[in-house]
Structure 1
Amino acid sequence: MNSFSDFLKRIPEGDRKVTRLVKVKVKGRDKARDDKFFNCEQEHEDNYVAKQYGKNRQAVSDFLAKKCEDGTISYSTHKKVYALIKEELGLTN
């Protein structure tokens, strides 16, 4: 799909109920988004956090996988995840 209008063409005309379209651009690290819950089931969550630790990316990724597996960071905010990384791995982003 190249555009929203292409997407709409795939929806039967009677089912289209779009009241408005809002385009949002996010640059850099968004604190409001960071404070939302970390989702262990989504790979991009791991990538988003781990890539902020540069050369320690793989160590952080492995750490996150382990903590997701044992339930330590289930339903945790990103802020709490960063604090746990700092506390247990001694790393800051």
Structure 2
Amino acid sequence: MGKLLDFYKQHRRLFLAQKHQNTSKTQKFRDKAAIKFFSFCESQNLLHTDGIRKKEVVKDFFDTKEMSNKSDETRRKYFLVIREIYRRFFKINIGIEVLK
């Protein structure tokens, strides 16, 4: 496991928004989506915020074979998790166009 995933696992409460009436199932999905995204970033050697903050990284993540095989609904849910991370930490708004 790389440094980015270690940091995420130590500070996961900072990354994932605590929603009203949050269920453990949705929290597990958010956790899984964030881990998958950060694993992708590590595999691309994007270990610092300068590399991760580019919107092209999100587009590349959704262009991977694994994500392109998922249903549109699942891809949208992953997008919502990643968008929340970008809003909270980079103050960047990502549009839905990265899914296309």
**How high is the TM-score relative to the length of structure 2?**
0.32
Higher helix share: 2
Structure number with higher relative contact order (C-alpha < 8 Å, ≥ 6 residues apart): 2
